Amino acid sequence: MRHRRISRRHFLAGVLGTSATLALATRAAPAVRKGANLRLWILKTYVAPTNKAIEVSAERWAQKNGATVSVEYFTFEDMQTKYVAAIENKNTPDVGQLETGAPARFAGMGQLLDLTTFARQVEGQIGKPTANVAPVTMVDNKIYAMPWYIMGAFWYVWRDVFEKNKVKLPATYEEAKQAAHVLNRPNENFYGVGQSWNRTSDGYGVMQSLMYSYGVGWAGRDGKYRSIKTPTMQQVMKWATDIYKEGIQPADTLSWTGSQNNENFIAKKIAQTSNGPSITFALEDALAKARDATERKQREEAIANHLALPHPAGPDGRRMWSIAMSLGIFKNTKDPDAAMSLIAHLLSPEETVSVMKESYGQFGPVLDKARDASKDYFNKNDNYRTFGRAAEWFAATGWPGPVTAAAAEVQATNVLTDAPAKVIVDKWSVDQAIEWEDKKIKDVYDTLRS
């Protein structure tokens, strides 16, 4: 492998202003000077205990090293604006949690430190990410962020409803749709499925899972634009719009916010929906807050009856669009060594497992050492076993190509969910919608700055 000797590339990386990389090349492990103060940005997820656990883990590092960490949160909603603001104002944090498309976007702007050597250095400690996740944080074969965990999406169903109606648990999108038809009971306000094409990850994320499982991607393996005007995309669009046209969903599905599918599922108004483990968390949390025996019984039943299946497969395989969270260091940091030390700490198997244990299965580690250490945790029950397998099915924005700034922008323009909306709401034909979507995507690739 070329990495054995320090190649010209590594020297260039060092020269290009990332002095820490050069420094690292001559040091064993990042040392932290006393009194270092770091700003850490982390994502506020729906599972509150995880957020707290990460804070606590960071505190432990601070204590151990005589340093301080101040933690700030961003949410799914303001992920973009918060980082945008920081970049424009030149007050980016030292270490930031980055969602799937962010490493590509920010590295392209020259905002992130090159962590290739660092990754090599700590490999012995923390391991490597799985092969399908690693490319998320790499641009031109350089690593710009350390992958930490993925938040998978799963196919939630009410097991008792399926059993009562003698319907087989769905493994593919087609089966899910058929099951929805059988289970649909609009007169009782109960619907077969609830999938909103809204501007949240529940919308554009599932659309991508659908597309990638059918083998359709708007970029090729090389990351360049690829037309989606194919018969397979027609099938995708058809599935996406049939579930609306065929009356198997609640009437207001298209206008749901990110949490309304959770709500509808927990209220047992829909039989199936795609979601992250936050539904399981909500149910377990509700049980913990039960006030009397009746409530306890109700909530225990709910937990027993809800089932998280692997996300459906399509003709081309089972691909689950997920959010891949990584940790990156912004180049404006005053203390790159401390930052790297913090990251190595957070990513260590022990710390990762401690955070993961508070995550109700939402947190799927991707580094192999952490994965090994967490096998027991995920063995709790069927649902958790499924959660633990998330990394197997992971597919990122821009599949089958790498995650690029262009792919991230396509997702950000909401064109993926606007297209089916045009068929459902504006009564366009499937062809028209695909044509329009393709044009918009091409436009992004044509006008993006490299």
**Residue 252 binding another protein, by CB under 8 A:** yes
Q: How far apart are CA 157 and CA 14, in angstroms?
A: 51
Identify which range of 56-64, 162-170, 184-192, 341-349 contacts another protein by CB under 8 A.
184-192
Burial label for 310, CB within 10 Å (0-12, 13-18, 19+), is middle
Amino acid (one-letter) located at 143: I
Tell me the Ramachandran region of residue 215: left when phi exceeds 0, alpha when psi lies from -120 to 50, beta otherwise. left
Query: With respect to another protein, which residue has the nearer C-beta, 167 or 407?
Result: 407
Identify which range of 3-11, 101-109, 124-132, 390-398 contacts another protein by CB under 8 A.
101-109
Amino acid (one-letter) located at 180: A
**Residue 300 binding another protein, by CB under 8 A:** no
**Residue 16 binding another protein, by CB under 8 A:** no
Q: Do the beta carbons of residue 363 and residue 356 sit within 8 Å?
A: yes
Residue 22 structure tokens? 């050069």
**Residue 26 binding another protein, by CB under 8 A:** no
Identify which range of 30-38, 160-168, 319-327, 411-419 contacts another protein by CB under 8 A.
411-419
Identify which range of 59-67, 172-180, 206-214, 406-414 contacts another protein by CB under 8 A.
406-414
b/e map 391-405, b = 16+ CB within 10 Å: bebbbbbbbbbbbbb
Q: Binding to another protein (CB under 8 A): which residues in 43-62?
A: 44, 46
> Minimum distance between the CB of residue 116 and another protein, rounded to whole angstroms?
22
Query: With respect to another protein, which residue has the nearer C-beta, 9 or 44?
Result: 44
CA atoms within a 13 Å half-sphere pointing along the CA-CB vector of 43: 25
Identify which range of 27-35, 58-66, 84-92, 319-327 contacts another protein by CB under 8 A.
84-92
Considering CB under 8 A, how many residues would be counted as binding another protein? 55
Which residues lie across from 69 on neighbouring strands? 38
Helices (H) and strands (E) in the chain, counts: 21, 13
Query: With respect to another protein, which residue has the nearer C-beta, 26 or 187?
Result: 187
**Residue 106 binding another protein, by CB under 8 A:** yes
Coil vs helix vs strand at 348: coil
> Minimum distance between the CB of residue 88 and another protein, rounded to whole angstroms?
5
Q: How far apart are CA 249 and CA 253, in angstroms?
A: 7
**Residue 314 binding another protein, by CB under 8 A:** no
* Farthest-apart Cα atoms in the chain, separation: 71
Residue 239 structure tokens? 């599935």
Which residues in this chain contact another protein in the complex, by CB under 8 A?
A: 44, 46, 72-78, 80-82, 84-89, 91, 105-106, 108-109, 111, 186-187, 189, 198-199, 250-255, 257-259, 262-263, 267, 278, 282, 409, 412-414, 417-418, 421-422, 425-426, 436, 449
